Structure 1
């Protein structure tokens, strides 16, 4: 027989033969389920032993396969002072009808018509609900697929330096897929496009960032760490303050921070250390604008920042907006 299943999560429907002999049936897993006792009640109150004999013959004759038509349901009941849990076999619609045609073909035919109608509506209702959920999850799944593909590329090209790096990236994906990094506007299935902190940002100059980067150099054995390739870094740190027609293109602190991290990482502004520098500048911007901590807790933890920076570095250009929105969503969620 099949493993133990929880039929308590199923939907209850009442079948009544001409307004009499009402029987509760359980709808679950696109079928109808009844115990041998309930099947007997359905078909002119036949006793359970008679029903069990018919079921045994059905299986012995290979008319139906037991493993796919029978499942156990845990039933807890009081017996005196003891609480006893018993596993009760329940049978699906195929078995119910097979027994019915043996003992009462008239009721079996009536029940089949009723069950077909009920199951049809049950499946339609389930489809409508599932379709809505799929639409809600669609953008989240696309983001997850992109990041998973990026992780695979890094593993294949050995760009992750050690097992700890791999674990950090995998844990971030696990958190994202489990809904721990959820989207604020979940009902609409969309990532946040706008931040929540719409105040004037502390403007940090390119030179100030370079001083932060220079302070990092002793920790890295590289002659070219933090050496700019071109003017890309200058553009990255200044573009977040851009305006158009008198209005800021990135009006919130979250939007500025997200664009700063993405631009420095993706533009590969330095000969070495791009990801480390991007993450450090991002954190420096957050700190200078009093948005790094909320109630003593970081708005973005180290593992998440590591993974996001890695994924951005290996992403495609067309994924920019998605990653920007992911960062904004994480910061918005951790604002409370």
Structure 2
């Protein structure tokens, strides 16, 4: 840990002068206690990653270079965890809806409600997908009226 601190100080002195590299956020731990955690930005993480000499850090550099190269060539980076969660959520929703349909005959109101849930979910899923691929555009807005 002492060595990491030395690398951080050197990076701050040499290439990251004047750039904010750390932010403190309150975080809730598994035991439900809140504590302040420091989060470092990408610049300091990669700077330290290139200074440290170990097998683990070599693997970090290989990974970081791969991600940066993909981003530069493709113009975006896909968060695979979000995609996996989207797919899992979609599967769970479909499973739930098919279970509801199998369990009882739906009234017209229930069927309409179910179709509305599917429609809303599909819209949200498409919007999230467009956001991930940086294609999200606001097409229309609604005016809220106070009752």
Q: Same fold (TM over 0.5)?
A: no
TM-score normalised according to structure 1 size: 0.22
TM-score normalised according to structure 2 size: 0.44
**When you count strand as a share of all residues, which structure comes out higher?**
1
Bigger CA radius of gyration: 1
**When you count helix as a share of all residues, which structure comes out higher?**
2
